[in-house]
Chains A and B, each alone.
Chain A
Amino acid sequence: MKRKVLSILLASAMSITVLAGCGSTPATTEQTTADSVAATETTAAEPAAEVEVDVATYTEAPELAELVSAGSLAPVEERIPDADNIFVDTVDANGDALEIGTYGGVINLAGANGSWDLSRPVLESIIRYNTDGSYYPNVIKEYSFNADYTEWTFKFREGMKWSDGDDFNTDDVTFWYYMVHLTNFDGKASWNALIDYKEDTGETDEEGNAITIPHYATLKKVDDYTVTWTFTQPKYPADFIENGDFKWCWAPSHYLSDLIPDSEGYPYVENEYWASTGLSEEDVLANAIAKGIEAATVKDLGKAVSYNFWNTSGVPNLNSYVLCTTPGNNTRDDSLCILERNPYFWKVDAAGNQLPYCDEIHFNKTSEDGQDLLMFRSGEIDIINIGMQDIAATLADMGDAAELRSFAGTSWGSYQVTFNYTCKDENYATLFANPDFRQAISICVDRQNLSEIVSDGFLEPGQCAPSEGNFGYDAEWEQKWTEYDVDAAKKLLEGCGLVMGSDGFYDFADGSDFTLTFYTYAESGATAAYPVLEQNYTAAGIKCATKEFTVEAFDQEIDNNDWYAVLVPHTAIGGLSLRDRVAPFVPIAQAAEWYGEYGTWYGSDGAQGVEPTGDMAKLIEIYEKWNATPDSSERDAYTLDIYQVHEDNLWSIAYLKGEGSYNLISSKIKNYANNLVSADLYQYANIVHYWTLYKAE
């Protein structure tokens, strides 16, 4: 069978799904039937690159073919879904066509330190994002929802198997939900995505917070490959399928069934699919040991086998590579940790070659920064995350042997300064509220010089605005108030009512001293920038000082509203995650410096903090509209409105463009896209699609 299929992905982002805040929700709110499900898929599948696909027959890695010939492995056709259910991977996250690769070789990476590091290159989630924020079904084959968003249907891929060869079906979904997740065995007290509503008990806890009882979605198995999630309240895409926490909804029931206790700590949840295991906590710990899994407590066990399962050797999963079982190479703490090809991986390339191409991924543990770079230089590591200061020298030394890959970040500029708009001192509060003051602070700094000193000229001058490649990017905004002009800055300061004193520094009009004291915290990176800024501010007649705190003490100062200005905020506009969508850009919590007590006011329902006025209040107004609509295009419009208010006000000033992240890769590595986006929602390196990388020797 030869058929031409339009490759998925990278549709016109704005019309379908944009950034994290939008889904592939059809514009209509009609019941999405099988047709509209197809429409969902098709919308996400608008082509950026047209790729010839031929999956009439499958091909597999030679080492797997040998096992098949030896009779120790089933033929590839029996291991992976048929052409109607298989996932054909044809384009990268930018929508560019992938090359057909060759089998073999090892991808060598630096060591895995954090609990998520082993998952980054391999984890397979419900949906997958492109760099532009659009997304498409991944492990699930299709999804749909009814008109009022109270019922969601997931269809899975028939013929899909766990990495140990056992069938994957909706029993694994009901098992996960009722036996693993709702019992809190996975230690993730049900994700918000699955909470239907919270019932208010009318009681409060010791800290005065309302005590609520969560009610969860009802999961029903329709058939072996279809489930429905039912809610009593509308569950919009942003809260459900686009919720970054909700990455998977399955667990290997055949493997975990003797590891789930029915105890006081993990009581059985009544359901029609699974009976209580009747096992004590001690029983399951002993069963775990029998499977080679060490855990001190059931809490540790649950996390190891059903949350950070990629870190636990022997636990079947759906990923492209699985942790090997060889002692000495099967934990992320080992000097060499090995992930092996999953022989049951359910993706193929356009020519029907089962993915992944490379045999193994190796994580090479090093004890010190810089050792991985040495190993990269000597060819022992193929892909390395590198600081910008090392890029030029390494590329110069390695010539054609290495290539640079850039990732845009999600931060709104770097080296931000912001001010306390709810400052207790009236003089300062009034001054900070004046946009001319912020403009003066922005233009009095020689950004080029700052860039040379703090980043060897690597970071370009910029403003507090979305980075290129992110939703809402605006070149004009990125350059607003960035032209260096000390005289103009002085005029603006005088326009704000400041008066030049006899010491050459501005004072308030009432004669009181004006000193801009920047609060910073250790490891914020502010130390390098402050002397340059001080020089610039001083030249503009602004007396300044700095106070450095530990992170805890810094946060305390902010919470107590005992501060004036901050250099490199702890919660900068933008942030590291797209998960919260517009939340980082509106004053709704006691969190970020740029809105200070205004956020506390909203977060405490007006009980504490300062009531927002003017444009701060406007942000909340737009946010509430954003929150009340399920329509993605409307949400996008509101998001842009919020961004516009930010562009008008620039409550935070950034001096340089946002710092992305950089990888150096060996030139032998192919199919590694450039200009990707590094974000929590995209699971960072997961967007590279490691299973499509191949090594050209």
Chain B
Amino acid sequence: MKESPETCEVSTSPGFLQKGYSMTALKEFLKKDLVQYIIKRVLMFIPTLLLISILVFFVIQLPPGDYVSAHIAALATEGEFVDADYAASLREDYGLDLPVWQQYIKWVKDIIWTPTDSAYYRLYGSHHNWKFSFAYGRDVWSVVEDRLGLTIGVTFIILLFQYVVSIPIAVYASTHQYSAGDYISAFIGFIGTAIPNFILAIILMYLSYVWTGNANVGLFTQEMLQNGIHLYNFGDFLKRMIIPIIVIGTSGTCGIIRSVRAQMLDEVSKQYTLTARAKGVSERTIVMKYCFRAAINPTVSGLGGVLSSLFSGSTVTAMVLNMQIQGPVLFKALQCQDMYLAGAIVMVQAVLVVIGILFSDIILAFLDPRIRYSGGGR
């Protein structure tokens, strides 16, 4: 016997379809065990981040030598020679003469809480001592802070570009399967993925130089670096963003296009779609309101991973394009074994990625209540 449309919708389509986008659905969603879930997840952050911090700190210290030896080698190339006594006293001052585990414990302890009567608090007025960056000669947090906003901003713009470009293409490709448009979009997507970012960056810089006489090295013009970004020069900034967006953005678009397209194709042939179509629902509503929301799940769940790859994966591209974001600072910190700075950057990235994953899980749960906050198949 043919099932009634209602039964069919309940059993095979995402739960939200029963309620649509109403405020009631949102309220109900928030009422559920969301808060409890978030608390649980945040608590999970602690061991996760601790584990990451251990890995970071110890891996950075693995190569032979330390910051002082790297620093002395750098001075030697400038013709300045440092005697062994000075090197030893530097190590003592920086605490590098302690065993690594002791350095680690002190590092973590000071980040979590630096007491009010400490020299650090008196100097900087902060309870979180991320230590001193040897390479930059400054408080680590101030170095991280310098580029954090820009890094998040650039990452956000690129992320936005990826979704804004790839999702419509994916929807188009799935609804026009095997059409010329489908092939063209697949071709462009694959080019972005197949060409290594740094090569694409160099090619685009070259073309930019040939066509405009300026290779657009860096995110900012000298004028912006001197006077900051304002409305009058925002256009120039966007111009400078073109190459990074294309290079970093296109590297991820293909994945999104292909996965959304495949999911869409899957959804458009499902029972509930056929039912909706049989009931006379418009094709546009079927695609956008039903199929698309179901198809977007894997993309949303991959958000945390995408954030991570944009953060760290774009380091090489950032260096090729001379972008003033976190990647090249991390590279420099690792190169000269400035472990406190490297540790801080990686930790900040880890925190952001962990938060990104949490958000993606929450959004996912909102989009599809079949995905529960907790186990047990409730």
Contact = CB atoms under 8 A, between A and B. Distances in A.
A335 B324 contact: yes
A115 B93 contact: no
A463 to B, nearest CB: 26
Contacts, number: 94
B75 interface: yes
Given A285-B123, A299-B90, A375 B215 contact: yes
Given A282-B119, A299-B90, A367 B137 contact: no
Contacts of B215: 371, 374-375, 377-378
B138 A114 contact: no
B225 A328 contact: yes
Contacts of A379: 213
Contacts of A300: 132, 137
A77 to B, nearest CB: 31
Contact of A296 (B80, B94, B142): B94
Contacts of B83: 189
A540 interface: no
B193 interface: no
Given A294-B138, A336-B222, A338-B226, A375 B217 contact: yes
Interface in A317-371: 326, 328-329, 331, 333-336, 338, 362, 364-368, 371
Contacts of B320: 367-368
A366 B217 contact: yes
B328 A367 contact: yes
A205 B123 CA distance: 39
A274 interface: no
Contact of B78 (A115, A299, A365, A378): A115
B183 interface: no
Given A333-B136, A576-B79, A378 B93 contact: no
Nearest to A333: B136
B226 A329 contact: yes
Nearest to A368: B319
Contacts of A366: 217-218, 322
Contacts of A331: 136, 138
Interface in B132-158: 132, 136-139, 142
Nearest to A113: B74
Nearest to A114: B78
A112 B220 CA distance: 18
A529 interface: no
Nearest to B83: A189
A115 to B, nearest CB: 7
Nearest to B146: A328
A149 to B, nearest CB: 27
B77 interface: yes
Contact of B205 (A286, A289, A374, A576): A374
Interface in A49-71: none
A430 interface: no
A577 interface: yes
Counting chain A CB atoms within 10 Å of each CB, the highest count among B89, B94, B225, B318 belongs to B225
Counting chain B CB atoms within 10 Å of each CB, the highest count among A296, A297, A371, A379 belongs to A296
A368 B89 CA distance: 33
22 contacts: A114-B77, A115-B75, A116-B78, A187-B86, A189-B86, A282-B122, A294-B138, A294-B139, A294-B142, A295-B137, A296-B132, A328-B225, A331-B136, A331-B138, A333-B136, A336-B226, A362-B222, A368-B319, A368-B320, A371-B215, A374-B217, A378-B209
Given A300-B137, A328-B225, A379-B213, 15 more contacts: A114-B78, A116-B80, A189-B83, A289-B123, A289-B124, A295-B137, A297-B93, A304-B137, A329-B225, A362-B222, A364-B222, A365-B322, A367-B320, A371-B215, A577-B79
